[in-house]
Amino acid sequence: MSNHRAHGHYLAKGGDLYRFFAEIYGKADGCAKGRGGSMHLIDQKVNFLGSTPIVGSIVPVATGVAFAEKLKQNKTVMCVFLGEAVVEEGVFHESINYAVLKQLPIIYICENNLYSVYTPLNLRQPERGITQLISGHGIPAISADGNNIRETYNVIKSAYLYVHSGKGPVFLEFFTYRQREHCGHLFDNHLGYRSEQEFLEWKKQDPVSRLKQLLIKKKYLSTAQIQTLQNKLTVDSEKILEQAHASTTPHKTINDADTYA
């Protein structure tokens, strides 16, 4: 499950691209039937159970799903994504408390990008580290470089094996950075809430560029192969985007019997 910044999570999990674009355009074929929009993504076919934009609101829902899965004795590992602002909310701590109490199979994945809209972390939280705060709940809490894809993969894999073996929940904090504006595709450094220098430092750590460099260095792919792959993805996704754009808008009435699959 995920939050207001769910596009990457939905697509990485294998969520349907046509239904994704259709949802963003508010079309009937959208994954939430065009009634949710960009921040209410769902694709149950690939176990992407949903996302909600009210900050923190998905955390108790995901914790409840983990509880249900445990009661059903399923070997599910629930993952829920959250921004670092969520740890400033009461409902987050209530959820973690319950997950630890019931030893629930859930990984809380915090993407710490240092800002809540325009407010930096140091104006919102004391300098004691998020994992130090969370570990007070008695849950393993680990920090890692979220812009290093191999490190991220390894940390997630260890957490998955830990939770899957029935040892209870884990909290992970991945440091990362939002390069563009809070909501939209533009750059917004001119607003002055962060410095150009900070932005440039983080830009060097861009996870996609770093992965490309690694693939080339290790000779898994050449620059030309990466470019070909990128071109193909662009052409394929633009075709799907056009289809979604041309599809029909939803009916005015909602049929309560509709399922959101």
Ligand X SMILES: Cc1ncc(C[n+]2csc(CCOP(=O)(O)OP(=O)(O)O)c2C)c(N)n1
List C-alpha distances in Å: 41 to 6, 97, 157, 169, 173: 7, 27, 24, 24, 23
Q: Say whether residue 86 binds ligand X (CB under 6 A).
A: yes
Q: With respect to ligand X, which residue has the nearer C-beta, 118 or 220?
A: 118
Nearer to ligand X, 107 or 244 (CB): 107
- Pick the stretch among 6-14, 48-56, 134-142, 242-250 that binds ligand X (CB under 6 A): 48-56
Query: Which is nearer to ligand X, 195 or 225 (by Cβ)?
Result: 195
| Window 187-206: residues binding ligand X (CB under 6 A) | none
Binds ligand X (CB under 6 A): choice among 113, 147, 148, 152: 113
Nearer to ligand X, 42 or 86 (CB): 86
Please name the amino acid found at residue 223. Answer: T
Give the residue with the Cβ less far from ligand X, 172 or 244: 172
Contacts with ligand X by CB under 6 A: the residue count is 13
Tell the smallest beta-carbon distance from residue 84 to ligand X (Å). 5
Among the listed residues 54, 71, 123, 208, the single contact to ligand X using CB under 6 A? 54
- Of the listed pieces 17-25, 77-85, 199-207, 216-224, which binds ligand X according to CB under 6 A? 77-85
Which residue's C-beta sits nearest to ligand X? Answer: 83
Distance CA(166)–CA(198), nearest Å, equals 41
Q: Does 83 bind ligand X (CB under 6 A)?
A: yes
- For residue 252, the tally of other CB atoms under 10 A from its CB is 5
Angle between the N-to-C axes of helices 90-101 and 58-71, in degrees from 0 to 180, rounded to the nearest 10 = 10
Binding span for ligand X by CB under 6 A among 23-31, 79-87, 204-212, 251-259: 79-87
d(CA 156, CA 153): 5
- Indicate whether 59 belongs to the interface with ligand X (CB under 6 A): no
Task: Decide whether 20 or 115 has the Cβ nearer to ligand X.
Answer: 115
Judged by CB under 6 A, does residue 163 bind ligand X?
no
Q: Which stretch binds ligand X (CB under 6 A): 63-71, 99-107, 113-121, 129-137?
A: 113-121
Cα R_g (the chain), whole angstroms: 20
Binding flag, residue 51, ligand X (CB under 6 A):
no
Which of 51/113 has CB closer to ligand X? 113
**Site residues for ligand X per CB under 6 A:** 4-5, 53-55, 83-86, 113, 115-117
